[in-house]
Amino acid sequence: MIFDYLPYVIALAIACAIPGPGVTASVGTALGSGFRPALVFVTGIVFGDLTYLTFAVLGLTAIATVFSGFFTVVKFAGAAYLLYLAWSFWHAGVDPDAVARRNAKGPWATLMGGYALTLGNPKTIIFYMALLPTVVDLQAIHLEQYLVLAVLTVLVLYAVCIPYIGLAARARKFLVNPRALKWLGRGAATAMASAALFVVVKE
């Protein structure tokens, strides 16, 4: 029954809603580039969560530990990408032409930025490798249950993140004064840099 998955849904929603590097970077993307790029970034986060969910269900925690060096590299790569965005937003602001140039690189970089951030996010790792087993009996999960968990994960993450980026994108549209756009860009840069710092220093 669907109620069997309620503890997982509640735990995931709470974990996602608590502002962390994922939410901070998503809001920064919405402030700097608008709703659509931020939605692509969130989609990368969703793929990252699904990766860790799969690891947990398949019992690959030990493998993930063995390849901890790889995830460390991914963590720093994600942080470096966020710092690049922070530098870009700080210097170019959210001028429409500058945003168009950033978006011309295509959504792939944005998607992979969200994915890399999630793979290197200690908060995500702790949830799926430590907290998930306390709310879900991983030993009893078969393909059907896994698919239900995957769908619920996607729905919960979008349900929590879309209001964040929607409000940020709406605030961005109301600020059309060049000076306001400049400070909005610096706010986005600060959000990105903060998320990168959190990922790097958090064990």
Tokens describing residue 100: 């168009």
In this prediction the pTM is 0.71
For residues 93 and 182, give the distance between their C-alpha atoms in angstroms, rounded to a whole number: 5
**What pLDDT score was predicted for residue 14?**
84
Give the largest Cα separation in the chain, rounded: 57
**What pLDDT score was predicted for residue 162?**
94
**What pLDDT score was predicted for residue 121?**
78
Amino acid letter for position 81: Y
For residues 87 and 8, give the distance between their C-alpha atoms in angstroms, rounded to a whole number: 37
Phi and psi at 137, nearest 5°, equal -80, 95
**What pLDDT score was predicted for residue 104?**
47
**What pLDDT score was predicted for residue 97?**
46
Query: Do 94 and 177 meet the contact criterion of CB atoms below 8 Å apart?
Result: no
Ranges of residues in the chain whose predicted pLDDT is under 70: 1-2, 60-79, 81-82, 84-86, 88-106, 173-189, 191-192, 195-196, 198-203
For residues 28 and 42, give the distance between their C-alpha atoms in angstroms, rounded to a whole number: 12
